[in-house]
Amino acid sequence: MMDFFEQELRKLAAACNGLSNPVFAGRACYSDLGGNILVKLQFVEEYRADYYSALKATIINRTEGEVDALLFRFVDIWGRKINPDSQDGITPHINVYGSRKSGFTMHWYVYYPNEADFRQLAALVDAYIDVFTGKM
């Protein structure tokens, strides 16, 4: 069964040109970039637990470990969004709540990124990947 994080990573992977044969494991997406290099994509918490407000891309050398990492903050890419409960707007993020006993619920909070948003994020991820694949 695919969880919410995998579902959203699959949307992103489909929009990325730089990912070939992505593999999904847990809450991460991995893709071979050629040679000894791969990329790992995962949603990350920045400011508080269960508040995933960025995508982290990590370039990994299979024999030497992490080469580089970059955070793509959703608010930097998509901006603040209208929140009907506040004049300040909302920072786009994935919210997780619940417990092991009752189960966890995961969803985009207030703002749900559309296909164009995922294409915009994917273009930035592709540009980052290009630095390590020599396509820049």
**Residue range 1-17: average pLDDT?**
90
Q: Where do the domains of the chain lie?
A: 4-73+114-133
Residues 98 and 105 sit within 8 Å (Cβ to Cβ): yes
Q: How confident is the model at residue 94 (pLDDT cuts 50, 70, 90)?
A: very high
pLDDT of 97 reads 85
pLDDT confidence tier of residue 136, bands split at 50, 70 and 90: low
Cα–Cα distance for residue pair 12/122, rounded to 1 Å: 6
> In angstroms, rounded to a whole number, what is the distance separating the alpha carbons of residues 80 and 77?
9
Helix spans in 16-110 (H)? 74-78
- Interval 89-114 mean pLDDT: 86
12: tokens are 């992103």
